[in-house]
A = this chain, B = another copy of it.
Amino acid sequence: MTSPFVAGPSVRIPGSPNGPLAGLTFAAKDLFDVAGHRTGGGNPDWARQNPAPTRHAWAVQRLLDAGATLIGKTITDEVSLGILGENPFDGTPLNPMAPDRVPGGSSSGSASAVAQRLCDTALGTDTGGSVRVPASFCGLYGIRPTHGRLDLTGMLPQAPSSDTSGWFARDATTFARVSEVMLGEPISVTLPTRLVVAVDTFGFADAGTAAALQPLVQALAALMKDVRDDLLAPSGLTAWARAQRTLQPWEAWQTFKPWLERDNPRLQYSVARNLARAAAIPESEREWAALVRSEARARMTWLLPPGTILCMPTTPFPAPLKGQSLPALEPVRGRILGLAAHGGLTGVPQVSVPGAKVDGLPVGLSIVGGHGSDAALVAVARALEAAR
């Protein structure tokens, strides 16, 4: 199955006629409430437990009010637990840039729908990388906003300390238009002036990917007054990832435990296994992880004062092949999360920018800023597209 949309009755809600996004179409990941339609959550036993919502999620309402027309709900990894986008119930949405590869997850259908030009933008969620990773794999713009900035009402939660809602677009102009509406802040023409090239993240990526991103890094550097190399995580990207892979699953377990224990639902083996493992995470590990998180947040504050941004590969490689075995995928997931964990851990905003390819496969460059710098990151993305 390659459709990015969930099965069932079609959803189409016209936007307000005169808003700033009039004429644009969008899709919403099936974690966002759309009034009158059950929120599927990527799992048949999740969908069944709740009646159809009576109100749109905040993010959906925001886009409708701005004039965009909702044209569908998109496939997600089960209850957002997945980074590759292979859902055994709803199918794996097509990655049109690489049909034999995964689209990335968990916002797989939203990325696929935009990449297939079936809509102009699409809502996703990003707890541990679920917008950034599919943006990189499908060659799209994608944003993980500052944690806590946007209203998440009507969005199915996973790990509230890390949950965010984001969106995708194929071009920087559309991306900026949507971002202006979602952020409620103009996208300025004034840019940050200082760039940190996070050399540890480029070293963590495959050599071919790091090399493929260099032209984008050079173009980005040309927009800045000051460019320097530094480390994102002096104590190790792996330590940060381990902390996030302790805190996030533990929180997800708290979120889904009542459902699991009451309904004993059907789940993909790896999803169930990871939840079962999360239930057994000892308090001592969580305490250690919380300390690492404090340090990581302090590092971000020090590294990214106002006017400074950081660049890094969004993913360490392009999209992996579909249908691989779990043992083959474990290290793949591990490396993806090694470059994505800082987002959920520290809450900083991040924009993934397309434009690089490895063996014909897209891979994204990410621009990261301090808390609240979302609009500045979008501005940089727009300027970078204009400069190339």
Which A residues form the contact surface with B (CB < 8 A)? Answer: 45, 86, 88-89, 260-262, 264-270, 272-273, 275-277, 325-327
Asked whether, in the complex, the Cβ of A260 is within 8 Å of the Cβ of B88, the reply is: no
Q: Given A45-B88, A88-B45, A268–B264 Cβ distance below 8 Å?
A: yes
The residue on B at minimum CB distance from A328 is: B261
Complex Cα spacing A272 to B277, Å? 11
For this chain, the copies found in one complex come to 2
Assess whether A265 is in contact with B261, with CB atoms less than 8 Å apart.
no
Instruction: List, sorted by A's number, 9 A–B pairs whose CB atoms are closer than 8 Å.
Output: A86-B264, A88-B265, A260-B269, A262-B326, A266-B267, A267-B272, A269-B275, A272-B272, A276-B277
Q: Is the CB of A326 within 8 A of B89?
A: no
Contact of A262 with B88 in the complex, beta carbons under 8 Å: no
Q: Are A89 and B266 in contact, with the CB atoms below 8 A?
A: yes
What is the bound-complex CA distance between A265 and B266, given in angstroms?
A: 10
Given known A45-B88, A88-B45, contact A270–B264 (CB-CB < 8 A): yes
Provide the bound-state CA to CA distance between A88 and B267, in Å.
11
Question: Which residue from B86, B88, B264 sits with its C-beta under 8 Å from A269?
Answer: B264
Having A86-B264, A264-B325, A267-B272, one finds 12 other A-B pairs with CB under 8 Å, namely A88-B264, A261-B326, A261-B327, A262-B325, A264-B269, A265-B269, A266-B266, A266-B267, A266-B269, A272-B273, A273-B273, A276-B277
Residue of B nearest to A279 (CB): B273
**How far apart are the CA atoms of A365 and B265 in the complex, in Å?**
34
- C-alpha spacing A264/B84, complex, angstroms: 13
User: If the complex has contacts A88-B265, A276-B276, A276-B277, are A326 and B270 also in contact, measured as CB distance less than 8 A?
Assistant: no
- Name which residue of chain B comes closest to A45, CB basis: B88
Interface contact A265-B268, CB-CB below 8 Å: yes
- Contact B276–A273 (Cβ < 8 Å): yes
Contacts of A269 in B (CB 8 A): 260, 264-267, 272, 275
Which residues of the partner chain B approach A268 to less than 8 Å between Cβ atoms?
264-267
Chain B proximity of A237: nearest CB distance (Å)? 26
Roughly how many angstroms separate A327 CA and B262 CA in the complex, as a whole number?
Answer: 8
Closest 5 CB pairs of A and B: A272-B272, A273-B276, A261-B326, A276-B276, A262-B325
Name which of A89, A268, A273, A275 has the most chain B CB atoms within 10 A of its CB. A273
Bound-state CA distance A188–B5 (Å) is 66
Whole-angstrom distance between the Cβ of A301 and the nearest chain B Cβ:
38
List chain B residues, Cβ under 8 A from A86: 264
Give A156 to B265 CA distance when docked, in angstroms: 24
| Closest B residue to A267 using CB positions | B269
Roughly how many angstroms separate A326 CA and B258 CA in the complex, as a whole number? 10
Would you give the shortest CB distance from A333 to chain B, in whole angstroms? 12
- Chain B residues positioned under 8 Å from A266 (CB to CB): 88-89, 266-269
Cα(A260)–Cα(B325), bound, Å = 9
- Closest-CB distance, A277 to chain B (whole angstroms): 7
